[in-house]
């Protein structure tokens, strides 16, 4: 197991007791929840572990709980395996979790923006009587026709998330959604109203976008440590500079989740991991088929242990680690037009290859040599220093799983 995609869920993955097991078993998870409590100024952990479900359904508590539990799960995953994803995607609020995991947004900034997003969305829902519902076992074309037929210039319903070929979220005015739910049932479809949810990902939320964009623009944004797919484009962010625009557009635009999953499938990853508090995403993928790529849920103990063992086996010896170093240095883009310096980078890559073939040093010495060569190669290719730090830290974390390394 060398290449994984990580999936961060959105609403619907929350439940009473979420994150409690992680908090009790892993110090790194406790640190995440404690930071959330400090930043927010209230006991979010207590609401996740022991709170009433009616409280967990409040827009701000729900989204903050999902973000925090998902990020805690990710931190536990890294501490236990050292395996970073090649690519990740987040459904709705999960996109914040994905960008936080990739180091683009700090956890503190994500918490503050998610809280703002929820408060702004609730204000829209209260003033315009907006809501959301899930529609299952229905075709996209048929649902589009229903939305168009029931909407007028003042009141409307729109497909807000395409989760699969037969599951969708619809957002809009509550009165229109109630009529739509009746029509769906007539055609043997199923509906599940999202209680207390604002009308995310539809044009009713356009007024929220600008304030979110300004807030995101004021944050310190870092280059992603791995690819993150935008829900708005269903393609990876090209740089951190796109985050304010695309992430603010997401709140008032359709989530193209089915397209994001197809894109991931085309990257030839070995597995997809649902890193959220429950198995909502992995269950949906299995029910609708995901081609040849296995999907695992981090929330299910048996699946978690299985995927951890597969990842451990993939880093069982030093040659695998050196191969990863070689891959990282070869695949990263060269931004240096100086031919002499680029030639030196090629020489260092050859030294990495020789290190794998003719090495008699201790594991610690070999890792230090390999990481030093990688750092120099990244420098010679003129990578941003923040990117270099992220790549070297990623490789070091993987090396620590080889054992006997301090």
CA distance 328 to 326: 6
Residues 6+ apart with CB under 8 A from 308: 80, 81
> Can 92 be counted among the known catalytic residues?
yes
Distances (CA, A) of 154 to 52, 151, 204, 293: 36, 8, 11, 44
Give the whole-angstrom CA distance, residue 160 versus residue 156: 12
How many DSSP H helices and E strands does the chain contain?
18, 9
Is 91 a known active-site residue?
Answer: no
What are the backbone angles phi and psi of residue 227, rounded to the nearest 5°?
Answer: -65, 135
Q: What is the DSSP string of 369-399?
A: HHHHHHHHHHHHTT--HHHHHHHHHHHHHHH
Separation between Cα atoms, residue 200 and residue 93, nearest integer Å? 10
The catalytically annotated residue of 14, 91, 173, 201 is: 201
- Cα–Cα distance, 37 to 31 (Å, whole number): 10
Which residues are CB-neighbours of 211 under 8 A, at least 6 positions away? 116, 120
Choosing from 65, 70, 92, 171, the catalytic residue is 92
- In a 10 Å sphere around its CB, with 0-12 CB exposed, 13-18 middle and 19+ buried, how is residue 301 labelled? exposed
Q: DSSP for 238-251, please give it.
A: SSGGGHHHHHHHHT
Looking at the annotation, which residues are catalytic? 92, 201
């Amino acid at each position: 197991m060398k290449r994984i995609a990580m999936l961060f869920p959105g609403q619907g993955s929350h439940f009473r007791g979420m994150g409690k097991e992680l908090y009790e078993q892993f110090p790194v998870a406790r640190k995440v929840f404690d930071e959330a409590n400090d930043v927010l100024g209230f006991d979010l952990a207590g609401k996740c572990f022991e709170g009433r479900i009616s409280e967990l359904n409040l827009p701000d508590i729900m989204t903050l709980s999902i973000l925090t539990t998902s990020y805690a799960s990710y931190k536990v995953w890294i501490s236990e395996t050292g395996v970073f994803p090649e690519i990740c995607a987040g459904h709705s609020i999960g996109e914040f979790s994905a960008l936080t995991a990739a180091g683009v947004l700090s956890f503190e900034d994500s918490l503050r923006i998610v809280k703002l997003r929820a408060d702004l969305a609730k204000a829209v829902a209260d003033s315009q009587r907006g809501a959301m519902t899930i529609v299952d076992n229905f075709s996209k074309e048929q649902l589009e026709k229903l939305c168009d037929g029931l909407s007028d210039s003042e009141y409307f319903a729109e497909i807000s998330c395409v989760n699969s070929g037969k599951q969708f979220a619809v957002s809009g005015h509550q009165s229109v959604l109630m009529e739509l739910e009746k029509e769906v049932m007539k055609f043997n479809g199923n509906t599940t109203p999202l209680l207390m949810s604002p009308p995310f990902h539809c044009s009713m939320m356009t007024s929220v976008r600008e304030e979110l964009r300004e807030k995101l623009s004021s944050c310190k944004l870092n280059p992603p440590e791995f690819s993150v797919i935008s829900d708005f484009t269903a393609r990876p962010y090209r740089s951190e500079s796109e985050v304010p625009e695309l992430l603010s557009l997401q709140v008032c635009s359709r989530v193209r989740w089915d397209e994001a999953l197809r894109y991931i499938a085309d990257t030839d990853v070995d597995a997809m991991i649902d890193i959220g508090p429950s198995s909502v995403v992995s269950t949906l993928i299995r029910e609708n088929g995901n081609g040849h790529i296995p999907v695992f849920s981090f929330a299910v103990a048996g699946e978690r242990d299985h995927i951890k063992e597969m990842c451990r086996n993939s880093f069982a010896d030093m040659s695998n680690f050196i191969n990863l170093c070689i891959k990282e240095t070869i695949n990263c883009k060269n931004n240096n037009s100086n031919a002499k310096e680029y030639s030196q980078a090629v020489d260092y890559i050859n030294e990495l290859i020789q290190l794998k073939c003719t090495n008699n040093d201790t594991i610690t010495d070999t890792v230090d040599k390999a990481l030093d060569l990688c750092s120099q190669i990244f420098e010679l290719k003129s990578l941003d220093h923040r990117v270099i730090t992220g790549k070297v830290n990623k490789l070091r974390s993987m090396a620590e799983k080889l054992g006997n390394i301090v």
